[in-house]
Structure 1
Amino acid sequence: MNGDLIVQRPEGLYCPAGDFYIDPWRPVARAVITHAHGDHARMGNGHYLASQKSEGVLRSRLGADIQLQTLAYGETIDHHGVRLSLHPAGHVLGSAQVRLEHGGQVWVASGDYFVSGAEDHNTTCEPFEPVRCHCFITESTFGLPIYRWQPQREVFDDIDRWWQRNADAGRASLLMGYSFGKAQRILAGVDPAIGPIVTHGAVDPLNEAYRAAGVALPATHRVTDLDKAALSRALVIAPPSVQGSAWARRFGDASDAFASGWMQLRGARRRRAVDRGFVLSDHADWPGLQRAIRETGAERVIVTHGYEAIMVRWLQEQGLQAEAFETEYDDERADVEKPAGGDETPEPPSTAAAPQGGSGNLGAARRFPESNE
């Protein structure tokens, strides 16, 4: 509609009044980033704005020399008359919702967020904060009634029991999940007294970013640090790409498992061909999506990546104005569907020239703050 604070463009979600993009999937001059997963934070943008909490992981994944400016949660700035602030999304370290206010309208682009019907929160980051708005842009990764997460403490207890049984039998426990976010959530939730914990090289720098941000994680080891006896009792946390690789074969007759919300579907577990599937997601489940939308008070809801059509229909049945945006975000689904093998270590930073045009950095003085480099 004319006057919308956020519209679709080929490069991504665009704020015309402020002349910036939110999580663009093609290089742009100015990008507001909700979180550091690779489908939301991409290389090649001229200038980045993100939460203070996300700085370590963004620089770890995109390069230390990116032009990055940060905001504390709740801090408000003004750019071309658009008031912008970032608010916790509960998804991963530093994840944020983007609140925009202009012309008497308030819009919130939530990025990815975690709210569950079990009323848990992700202990490795600030919990989701409902933000009142006129229009709410929501993900729908798990936007089907079948997706209802059990209390996460029950999931971690189940992982501990599996690990303990394997350790007693002299088998390593290979648990695969996202290097960023899922791996750290597992580390924070399991019982390190059971045995040593080994992490893949793709996980290590992200662990350090979490620790630097004050998140408590247990001690971890590289595979070369331990002897065969210790490895036979170890919990090994690695990205899904190691499945069937030479790296994974170092652990011999290991029991393997996968941690993802998609493990709620038996078909996904069969395709992964793992011994166990643990239903653990960093995204909202169906009741969580409903609760998050309701608590915004929004009369208009725009649905992105996931089960958009089903979510739009449900919202319209509730009397809300609802539609969908087509986006190129697909992090957790892609992580399950991608072929095994290879290495998920982040690529080196791009050396391509930053895009030109626009008014340069997103504001000066108390618009978008100067770089914290």
Structure 2
Amino acid sequence: MTELVTVRPEGLYCEPGDFYIDPWRPVSRAIITHAHSDHARIGHQHYLTAAAGVGILKSRLGEINIEGLPYGQELIHNGVCISLHPAGHVLGSAQVRLEYKGEIWVASGDYKLEADGTCTAFEPVRCDTFITESTFGLPIYRWQAQQEIYQDINRWWSRNKEEGRTSVLFCYSFGKAQRILHGLDSSIGSIVCHGAVQALNQIYRDAGIVLPPTKMVDEIHDKSELKQAIVIAPPSAGNSPWIKRFGDYSDAFASGWMQLRGARRRRGVDRGFVLSDHADWPGLMQAIQATGAGRVIVTHGSIPSMVRFLQEQGLQAGGFDTEYGDEENPAEVPKVAETTKSVDDTDNRPGHA
């Protein structure tokens, strides 16, 4: 089998095509799966990304030499057929399909299977080799339906409003914030966004994504309105003077890591909402099964456990050592003991997720 993609010091490299996928060091040609900072770096000479992600990538990286490719459209480069397919992670996120001499590889980037209305839904792509993320690649990670989480957030907001306290919800500015906004009940009160979130909201709106009306805190002059509002802010705002203007407030954090009690304690917030833009364990297994791939290469996350499990299911599996991280403030992410204690459950096998 041809090694169509390998790991070099610069990143994931396609030798026949002479380009990289989400490289972490400057290269001449880079295909970018999405605009989170661990996958999209500054300094490449040429960028190729999904057309839906061009605006967000330029907003984050500045003036770059970038080409947008519509989902599903093919491009031939040095004999390699390239196409990009929805990953369902954030606006413009894509899986990279490579076909060369009859062999098909797909690099997933980051992905989730549950459609959320703020980006094009995940699309399974058949292939021989699937390079998959494993951010939440342990059987303990199983997400509630997002609508249930939205209802919990709206109930929390309503209770705070009744008690005369501002609701401050910390979450990642790009992707998570817009997804939460999409699920908020704007009839409860005003929605206030930190400047880092508001700038990205506009890019989403320009892309045709419907979000409820939002305000900056400086636009609110009546303190009683602020006491009934929900504030969407990045985690860094919690340690800044900006947060002091809300007085007595109730705070919460939204992340997949909130499933772990230790993460909630370290955050020191009133509430933790388990909402992730990455696939959970059943989602990862379902995605792998849908590709039909006989070979799976696991990247960033719980690599050893997931590789071992896939091998037990009869797949050829291995791992790539990459420099990708977790966009949800990885310094705060607790270490989880890698174990196969619960992977013997047959319902977790690919095809049974």
Q: Assess same fold via TM > 0.5.
A: yes
CA contact (8 A) 2:81 2:100 kept: yes
> Alignment partner for residue 149 of structure 1, among 143, 151, 163?
143
- Are residues 1:231 and 2:226 paired? yes
| Cα displacement (A) at 1:249 | 1.1
Distance (whole Å) between structure 2 residues aligned to residue 309 and residue 36 of structure 1: 27
Matches within 5 A, 1:97-112: 97-112=95-110
Distance 1:209 1:224 in 2: 21
Q: What is the CA-CA distance between 1:244 and the residue it aligns to?
A: 2.9
Aligned-partner SS, 2:252: strand
In structure 1, distance between residues paired with 2:202 and 2:331: 25
| 8 Å CA contact 1:137, 1:304 repeated in 2 | yes
TM-score (norm 2): 0.93
Question: What is the 5 A alignment of 1:80-229?
Answer: 80-115=78-113, 120-226=114-220, 227-229=222-224
Contact 1:263–1:269 (CA<8 Å) still a contact in 2? yes
Q: Which has the higher contact order (CA 8 A, sep 6+)?
A: 1
Task: Classify the secondary structure of the residue corresponding to 1:193.
Answer: coil
| Amino acid in structure 1 at the alignment position of 2:52 | K
Q: 1:333 to 1:247 in 2, by over 3 A?
A: closer
> 1:273 and 2:271 equivalent?
no
User: Which AA in structure 2 matches 1:288?
Assistant: G
Cα gap change, 1:284 to 1:336, in 2 (>3 Å): farther
CA–CA distance in 1 between the matches of 2:211 and 2:98? 34
- In 1, the alpha carbon distance for the partners of 2:303 and 2:115 equals 24
Superposed CA offset, 1:347-367 (max 9, x none): xxxxxxxxxxxxxxxxxxxxx
Deviation at 1:242, TM superposition (A): 1.0
Contact 1:30 1:48 (C-alpha < 8 Å) held by counterparts: yes
**Count of aligned residue pairs for this structure pair:** 332
Deviations 1:101-135 (A, max 9, x none): 001110000000002xxxx3122011110000000
Could you say which residue in structure 2 is the equivalent of 1:247? 242
Q: What's the secondary structure of 1:243's corresponding residue?
A: helix
Instruction: Tell me which stretches of 4 or more aligned residues in structure 1 moved more than 4 Å.
Output: none
For 2:33, what is the secondary structure of its paired residue? coil
> 1:37–1:331: 8 Å Cα contact kept in structure 2?
no
Contact 1:51–1:73 (CA<8 Å) still a contact in 2? yes
Unpaired runs of 5+ in structure 1? 339-373
Using the TM superposition, give the Cα deviation of residue 245 of structure 1 relative to its aligned residue in structure 2, in angstroms: 1.8
Q: Distance in 1 between matches of 2:69 and 2:170?
A: 33
- The alignment yields a C-alpha RMSD, in angstroms, of 1.0
Measure, in 1, the Cα distance between the counterparts of 2:224 and 2:175: 29
TM-score, normalised on structure 1? 0.88
Q: Residue 18 of structure 1 aligns to which amino acid in structure 2?
A: G
Distance 1:94 1:158 in 2: 28
Partner of 1:301: 296
Find the aligned partners of 1:336 and 1:285 in 2 and give their Cα distance. Answer: 21
Letter of the 2:215 partner, please give it: H
Note if contact 2:37-2:327 (Cα within 8 Å) is conserved in structure 1: no
Q: Where in structure 2 are there 5+ consecutive unaligned residues?
A: 334-353
- Structure 1 Cα separation of the partners of residues 279 and 54 of structure 2: 24
Q: Which amino acid aligns with 2:214?
A: T
Equivalent position amino acid for 2:262 in 1: G
One-letter identity of the residue aligned with 2:87:
A
The one-letter code of the counterpart of 1:42 is R
Matched residue, 2:11: 12
**Larger deviation, residues 122-131 vs 258-267:** 122-131
SS at match of 1:56: helix
Equivalents in 1 of 2:288, 2:66: separation in Å? 30
Q: String of CA shifts for 1:186-241, please: whole Å, max 9, x gaps.
A: 00011011000110111112111100110000111111111211111110000011
Q: Once the 2 structures are TM-superposed, how far is the Cα of residue 331 of structure 1 from its aligned partner?
A: 2.2
